[in-house]
Structure 1
């Protein structure tokens, strides 16, 4: 379908406006992290790296960053195992309730975070607390894994649908045992999907706040929760902007790499 010059201009303007609404506020956060004025006067009276220095020397921010990294890595590891196993089971086998299993695996990403958080909070109080397991990093990892599994499952399942079954059959015909076929044929084909799914899962876990609020204990504070709790403190506002800018960078980088991996694989370069 060919569009007129006016239609292309209107669509381009709408796209630019939509992108501006999303990314201009993020740019302001980044600029304010270097703003020498504590009140964030605009335009900035000067630029400084003082807020980044204070953020680096903030014990609370460093501890929260470490907790977020630990939770993200653990949730990603769980998601890679469970998500890939579920994708292989649904794609490779025919069994009663296969579509239901696929639906149940994907459902958590569609549920409101507050609903998932309340449900997990009630479940942990009912099941774990009687066993002496309180709220902490473990419950945060479990909560994050519920939605991280979805992105791994979707990525691996999509790649398996594009994988020609004849390649694995040819490997078997040439005498390869199932582990060899998986190692030399299947795993290289889905490797980029696993990496992309893992990166997206880590990004989702790293900046999650709603589910974390209901699953973290009093002594467990991730970076998004630290930002939220310090946002209303006037003396901490410039430092919060620096930490928020770091959070943006850490969240954007895995998504960018995952997008490149997915596009390269779709183009046949992986």
Structure 2
């Protein structure tokens, strides 16, 4: 379909406005991380790397980064296992309630974070009666990280079909051997991309984390929220935010490259 010149211009202007609305605030945060004034006055009168040095020597920030990495890694591993199993079950087998289960698997990513957080908090503290801890935080993150793995694996399994797996079974291979030798090599790139997305999603999550982490655990997003309005901490928070953006972008970029290569 050929678009008229006026329509192209209108779409182009709208795209530029949307991109500016998204990325100009990120540029402001990056500039604040080298602003020589601790109060972050504008326009910037001097440039300094002092805040970067302080950020990389801040024990609170470093501990928060370590905690976020641990939670994201644990949630990603659990999501890879559970998401793959769900995708295999729902793509390869027919059973009663299949559509309902598929909806329940992807529902956490569609629900508002605050609803998920409150529900999980009540489930942990009231229904199950366990103390909020690293365990409850990882479980909470798995509930929405599993969706990215499930969606990638389910779509890839649908593209591949069942012929190779059926041939493997006809040749005498069991379920595990068929998965290990036939299915997994063909979907591993999709699982890798889904795992990277899950890691990025978990690393910067704050709403669900606030309701399920407890008072003794501070992830990087929570550390940022706690220090944003403290005196002379704003520039350091800006540095941490820039690092956080970079850490989140890397797995997203790799995932996009893998998906593009698979399509080619």
Which among 187, 202, 221 is matched to residue 224 of structure 1? 221
Partners of 1:34 and 1:184 in 2: CA distance: 52
Contact 1:79 1:152 in 2 (8 A): yes
Which among 190, 193, 198 is matched to residue 190 of structure 2? 193
Partners of 1:57 and 1:215 in 2: CA distance: 28
Which among 149, 153, 174 is matched to residue 156 of structure 1? 153
Counterpart position of 1:59: 59
Counterpart position of 2:144: 147
User: What is the TM-score with the length of structure 2 in the denominator?
Assistant: 0.95
Shift of 1:173: 4.4
Shift of 1:189: 1.2
Cα deviation code 1:81-127 (max 9, x no counterpart): 11110110000100000111100101111111111111111111124
SS at match of 1:234: coil
Counterpart position of 1:23: 23
- 5 Å matches for 1:105-254? 105-129=105-129, 133-174=130-171, 176-254=173-251
Partners of 1:202 and 1:215 in 2: CA distance: 18
User: What is the TM-score with the length of structure 1 in the denominator?
Assistant: 0.93
RMSD value, Cα:
1.4
1:100 aligns with 2:100: yes
Contact 2:86 2:150 in 1 (8 A): yes
Q: CA 1:107–1:19 in structure 2 vs 1: closer, same or farther (change >3 Å)?
A: same
Q: State how many pairs are aligned.
A: 264
SS at match of 2:232: helix
Shift of 1:37: 1.6
1:48 aligns with 2:43: no
Contact 1:128 1:134 in 2 (8 A): no
Partners of 1:87 and 1:248 in 2: CA distance: 30
1:266 aligns with 2:263: yes
Partners of 1:17 and 1:228 in 2: CA distance: 28
Partners of 2:36 and 2:224 in 1: CA distance: 20
Partners of 1:108 and 1:241 in 2: CA distance: 30
Contact 2:39 2:232 in 1 (8 A): no
Cα deviation code 1:47-84 (max 9, x no counterpart): 21111111111111111111100110111111111111
Counterpart position of 1:255: 252
Shift of 1:217: 1.4
